[in-house]
Structure 1
Amino acid sequence: MRFLRYTSRRTTAAATAAAIALLFLGAASSLPHHNAPAAASVLAGDDNRDGVIDEDESGWDCARMGNKVCGADVPPECEGAGDLLQLCMTVAARPAFGWNGPDGEVEADLPDGRTLLQDLYAKPGDPEFPELLAAYDADWRNHH
């Protein structure tokens, strides 16, 4: 008799565990499945629906996105500056400046940024242009 009570208790415990497992499996099967690759989110203005609003798409706002420079705002001296566009525009917007040396004599008298860029022998795209632009920017920062 003792054997029958032991096996009945054991069977009941196993049956209970199996019932709980079935309940969990049933509940899990009713949840949404996320095994498929995530689809790109649809953004208003994302014309190619890749999840990113690129510069040439209808949702692009040049005043808030990217380098925050709109096409009409780019001075002709900076067209074609590529990665240096923001620095070129900063330099182009600066007023004329100069500084005096320790003896009081004028050491430098530079024109405004646009005139300086127009007068440079190197233009955007030339190998020397980044170095000249950086040098003018460094002069400005050192004296202001």
Structure 2
Amino acid sequence: MFRRILDRVYAAAILAGLLALVALVLAASVGAARSAGSPPPRPAATVTVVNDANGDGRCEEDEPCWDCRAMGNGVCGADVPPECAGAGDVLALCVRVASRPPFQWFGPDGQIEGDLPDGRTLLRDLWVGPGDPEFAGLVAAYDADWRRTHP
């Protein structure tokens, strides 16, 4: 019986030690978090945009600082064919489609299954124009046909 009491006291001492260790770890982590706090405020950075025509601190399209090949949709004004003028969100896709040559695709039996003109002719012959809600879907479909037949 005395041995059983000593085993229970020993188990209680181990449990108390583990609980004390957990309490110390938690107290240390809370103390560290409180002492870290928020970092001191940094001074505001001043950015100067070179060639900012209107002086608003931003580089916008048609200002001398604008690089049409690296900024925005990556399409420069001179690169936009008239068939894509006003294409809005699909301008880059429209320009890519307009640059495509005519192509055909063949079926498994070797017979021509499809024949499309060059991209500019295709865009010019569409029954809808840039800005029309259907235009984006038709340009995307032509692009999908091209990618499917020219992997």
What is the TM-score with the length of structure 1 in the denominator?
0.69
Work out the CA distance in 2 between the residues paired with 1:53 and 1:61.
9
Report the alpha carbon displacement of residue 70 of structure 1 after superposing the two structures with TM: 1.5
Unaligned 5+ runs, structure 2: 1-39
State the Cα deviation string for residues 21-77 of structure 1 (Å, max 9, x = none): xxxxxxxxxxxxx97983652111223444431113221122332222221211000
The partner residue of 1:61 within 51, 54, 67 is 67
The 5 A counterparts of 1:1-144 are 38=44, 40-144=46-150
Report the alpha carbon displacement of residue 129 of structure 1 after superposing the two structures with TM: 0.5
Unaligned 5+ runs, structure 1: 1-33
* Backbone CA RMSD of aligned residues: 2.1
> For structure 1, which segment, 98-107 or 83-92, has the greater mean C-alpha deviation from structure 2 after superposition?
98-107
Aligned length, in residue pairs? 111
Work out the CA distance in 2 between the residues paired with 1:40 and 1:135.
46
- CA spacing shift, 1:99–1:35, aligned 2, 3 Å: closer
- CA spacing shift, 1:36–1:115, aligned 2, 3 Å: same
- Is the contact between residue 41 and residue 49 of structure 1 (CA under 8 Å) also seen in structure 2? no
State the Cα deviation string for residues 81-110 of structure 1 (Å, max 9, x = none): 011000000000011111111222211011
- Is the contact between residue 98 and residue 107 of structure 1 (CA under 8 Å) also seen in structure 2? yes
- CA spacing shift, 1:57–1:140, aligned 2, 3 Å: same
- CA spacing shift, 1:66–1:124, aligned 2, 3 Å: same
- Identity in percent: 64
Task: Read off the aligned partner of 1:114 and give its amino acid letter.
Answer: R
What is the TM-score with the length of structure 2 in the denominator?
0.66
